[in-house]
Structure 1
Amino acid sequence: MNAVSGCPVPHGSVPLSGPRFQSDPVRHYRDLRRDHGAVAPVVLDGDVPAWLVLGYRELHQVTGDPALFSRDSDLWNQWDRIPDDWPLLPMIGRKQPSILYTVGERHSVRARMISDALEGVDPFSLKRYAEEFADELIDQFCTKGATEIIAEYAKVLPALVLARIYGFDDAMTHVLVGAINDIVDGRERALAGQRRLAASMAQLLADKHAAPGDDVATRMLTAEGGFTDEEIAQDLMVMMAAGHQPTADWIGNSLRLMLTDDRFAASLSGGRHSVAEAMNEVLWEDTPTQNVAGRWAARDTHLGGRHVRAGDLLILGIAAANGDPQIRTHASALTGGNNAFLSFGHGEHRCPFPAQETAEVIARTGIEVLLDRLPDVDLAVPADRLTRRPSPWLRGLTGLPVVFTPTPAVGRPGSLGDPS
């Protein structure tokens, strides 16, 4: 990607990419905070300038003041320098009629519509779907004694469950997974992934107009508020992307922790409380959602000692803020249910509570079923050989190869179709 012509890059700006984001982000964020303070100048692909908000209090300030730090991407002062093929457009987007870029009262009405549609999902059915799909996926590899957990399990399970409750046919899952992965990686396939996901959502809504069902898409189509099909399709894209990949990474990162840290060894022989503790610790220490784009300054202001110009883009450094030493004075206090992490966001644009609950049910059920079925599961490679995807936005493993004692299948193999 060539540099964006004429783009003013502040002196000392740091690329929001590179191997340190994959290998040692905790140290990288610590170094950024040491060198730049709570708000660091960064450059995105193509030398596009932005601010990375590293401080916990500063991130609270940004997300808690939607008038000053707006979600309206039309405010961005760099649009005239952004080419049509910029690979980060699906993550930052302009004039997308989705809830991500809606502000004010319209956003509040839209958020309630989405929450109501998700709250209509029966919690017992949700858990049953997660258990059934988990068993079916495990049946496909349990007799082999080895598998790659990310590709064969973690990155498929959330999409299967979400596709079911949203109203998709199960056969669409592999299309959704591929499209979402391409978008969040932010590379050359990102725009094509966005188009595939949009086409899938348009087809879903056409199907639900013809044959309504007891599903999230139908409830959104029949909700009050006068929302267009395009708006609903865009919101479903956001919900699928935000619901699937972070949940898949939550499963993968939690299993990595449990398989590499002796504190969680008890969970591999049935200790269920340790699963919840591992998941909570991951949201603090290894959160799937590392950085979020973004907010735009509505006027000139100051933040964390920095002069922020009107229209500047601010990237929410979720992982960095979770590790802010100003609030992490007693790290041991973060286990046992402390939920002050920012992994689900903060303010009016935070992840809706029903969506958080859905992700937690899918992730926890997926981990518990795997450990029940394969109680002696262990890493097949040294822990230091595990690698991360290159995305600066989401932190997840490229693979998690494991071995275990082969066990017989318990369900109906082959009913999932092609989950690749």
Structure 2
Amino acid sequence: MTDQPLNGADAPRGCPVAHGGADLARLYGTEAATDPQGIYERLRKEHGPVAPVLLEGDVPAWLVLGYRENRRVLDNPRQFSRDARIWRDWREGRVAETHPLIPMVGWRPDCVSQDGEPHRRLRGAVTDGLLAASGRGVRRHATYFANKQIDAFIDEGCADLVAEYAEYLPMLVLTRILGLPTADALRLVESCAQVFQGGEAALEHNGRIMEILSELAERKRAEPGSDFATALLEHPAGLDHDEIVSHLRLVLIAAHATTSNLLARVLQLVLTDAARLSGLVSGQMSISSVVEEVMWDTPPLSVLPGRFAAADLELGGHHIQEGELIVLGLAAGNVDPEVRPDAAVAVQGNHAHLAFSAGPHECPGQNIGQAIIEIGVDVLLHRLPGLRLSVPPEELSSTATTWDSRLDRLPVEFPV
């Protein structure tokens, strides 16, 4: 079925609450934290490629499960706007500015929250700034900090590669790219995690991030340097203070969350498959091919917030009303049986995954994240010959939020 706009008065009502209200599947809570894929597949069987769901606080939304439907939403900003100011539940007062979803879904003066010319203006500044940053030694920074993290545990003969490596390596590199002191990395890792987890702490930690980045912008205005913050300040697009701080936040949170999660998942795949491990160590297999496989099977963002119907329309057999919230099921779309009949078969050489979104809002910093991951894996394997898991693979567990599913720990051992 095609996704055509409907004339408002003639459109059948399709509000998620009308599909069952409190009986709708929740993308938060115990089941969502332990078995998100089970929820996605149940919803696919019950509702097809688009399903009504409830987000934190029982806020209604539509979850897009189909690959083609995800691409249609991502590729058509005129029908599916990123501007949260048209969000009906927020506009009519059912979602307050203090709601824990606001840091992830609410409107901000950044390129992700805009469409059309405002988006192009801001996106251009971000792209130029990231391009300049990537040319100033991302791989060098990643190599330096990877070695520094390994130095901290190499004499122990064991480590948790999530808590001691994957969680901190991307943030340490990002602080250098943005122009932040390395000492801020520890606080920012905690705050970024809290924003993704939601709950009462999300707003407090989002405020902490904004405070740190506002101070950075003021400091760089007085003392410019070779960093992303200075690049935004000096860009001819003429960003104001709020726009600069919002884009610093966007890059920090998005890049850290996706890169740390992806790095942990790549290491998990490598350490639970002897053939991949030996292939990487011998040089017969590239790290980029393993990264590509992980981006299909366990993308760093499971669900992407959010789009808003710009008019009453039809999507995946459901009638969506103007202003309703739509969230993109990237993990579900990547295993859609319509495009991938056997999800157990590894995808080789196909870059059409949804892991970095698509369309005009596709992630502009993916090359930086991939560089950090490639360096992080390469340095680790060469510094720690004989690296192996210290628990059976089936003991590895994950915990999901609405937006991502993260490996809890990755305990390893190695000869000293």
1:205 has 2:217 as partner: yes
Query: Is contact 1:268-1:376 (8 Å) kept?
Result: no
Higher mean displacement: 378-387 or 139-148: 378-387
> What is the Cα deviation at residue 190 of structure 1?
0.8
Partners of 1:361 and 1:294 in 2: how far apart? 27
1:90 is matched with which residue? 103
SS at match of 2:88: coil
Letter in 1 for 2:348: G
Deviations 1:13-68 (A, max 9, x none): 21112444444444432222111100001001111110000011111111111111
- Offset at residue 83 of structure 1 (A): 3.3
Paired residues of 2:172 and 2:185 also in contact (CA < 8 A): yes
Q: Work out which of the residue numbers 14, 28, 31 in structure 1 matches 2:25.
A: 14
Letter matched to residue 193 of structure 2: N
* SS class of match (1:83): coil
Task: Tell me the residue number matched to 1:41.
Answer: 52
Change (3 A) 1:267 1:140: farther
Secondary structure of 1:273's aligned partner: coil
Q: TM-score, normalised on structure 1?
A: 0.90
Distance (Å, rounded) in 1 between the aligned partners of 2:132 and 2:381: 30
Contact 1:9 1:43 in 2 (8 A): no
- Superposed CA deviations along residues 366-406 of structure 1, whole A, max 9, x for unmatched, are 01111111122222222222222331202211211111112
How far apart, CA to CA, are the structure 2 residues paired with 1:147 and 1:9?
50
Q: Give the whole-Å Cα distance in 2 for the aligned partners of 1:253 and 1:272.
A: 20
Whole-Å Cα distance in 2 between the matches of residues 269 and 125 of structure 1? 24
Q: Which residue of 1 aligns with 2:10?
A: none
SS at match of 1:42: strand
* Superposed displacement of residue 210, structure 1: 1.2
Structure 1 distance, partners of 2:403, 2:311, is 26
Q: Which residue among 53, 61, 73 is the counterpart of 2:72?
A: 61
5+ residue gaps, structure 2? 1-15
Q: Contact conserved, 1:72 with 1:103, CA < 8 A, in 2?
A: yes
Superposed CA offset, 1:342-362 (max 9, x none): 11001111111xx11000000
Q: How does 1:86-165 map to 2 (within 5 A)?
A: 86-94=99-107, 96-123=108-135, 125-165=137-177
1:20-419 paired onto structure 2 within 5 Å: 20-79=31-90, 80-94=93-107, 96-123=108-135, 125-267=137-279, 269-271=281-283, 273-329=285-341, 335-352=347-364, 355-406=365-416
User: C-alpha deviations, 1:315-372, integer Å up to 9, x for none?
Assistant: 01111111111111465885333110011001111111xx110000001110111111
Q: Given that residues 272 and 368 in structure 1 are in contact (C-alpha distance below 8 angstroms), is that contact kept between their aligned partners in structure 2?
A: no
Q: Distance in 1 between matches of 2:114 and 2:186?
A: 30
Alpha-carbon deviation of 1:158? 0.5
What's the CA shift string for 1:69-96, capped at 9, x where partnerless? 10110111111111343222111113x2
Query: C-alpha deviations, 1:229-272, integer Å up to 9, x for none?
Result: 11110011010001111100011011111111344231464436
Q: Deviations over 1:186-244 (max 9, x none)?
A: 12211111011001110111110111001111011000122101111001101000111
Separation (CA, whole Å) in 1 of partners of 2:295 and 2:42: 21
- What is the alpha-carbon distance in structure 1 between the residues aligned to residue 349 and residue 32 of structure 2? 27
For 1:374 and 1:272, locate their aligned partners in 2 and report how far apart those are by CA, in whole Å: 19
Q: Quote the sequence identity (%).
A: 38
Distance, in Å, in 1 between the alignment partners of 2:26 and 2:342 is 31
Which residue of 1 is the match for residue 9 of structure 2?
none
State the secondary structure of the residue aligned to 1:100.
helix
Letter in 1 for 2:410: L
Change (3 A) 1:376 1:21: farther
Distance 1:268 1:56 in 2: 31
Task: Check conservation: 2:25, 2:39, Cα contact below 8 A.
Answer: no
The residue type paired with residue 81 of structure 1 is R
Aligned residues: 397
Q: Distance in 2 between matches of 1:215 and 1:191?
A: 27
Structure 1: 5+ residue stretches without partners: 1-6, 407-420
Contact 2:36-2:400 at 8 Å conserved across structures: no
SS, match of residue 296 in structure 1? strand
Q: Which amino acid aligns with 1:89?
A: I
In structure 1, distance between residues paired with 2:284 and 2:250? 32
* Conservation of the 8 A alpha-carbon contact between 1:208 and 1:217: yes
Cα contact 1:185–1:389 (8 A) shared by 2 = no
Does the CA contact (< 8 Å) of 2:134 and 2:368 recur in 1? no
SS at match of 1:302: strand
Instruction: Give the counterpart letter for 1:324 in structure 2.
Output: D
Counterpart residue identity of residue 62, structure 2: W
Distance in 2, Cα, partners of 1:386 & 1:179? 25
- The one-letter code of the counterpart of 1:120 is A
Query: Do the aligned partners of 1:9 and 1:47 also contact (CA within 8 Å) in 2?
Result: no
Residues 398 and 405 in structure 2, CA contact (< 8 A), matched pair in contact too: yes
Structure 2 CA distance for partners of 1:99 and 1:13, relative to 1, 3 Å: same
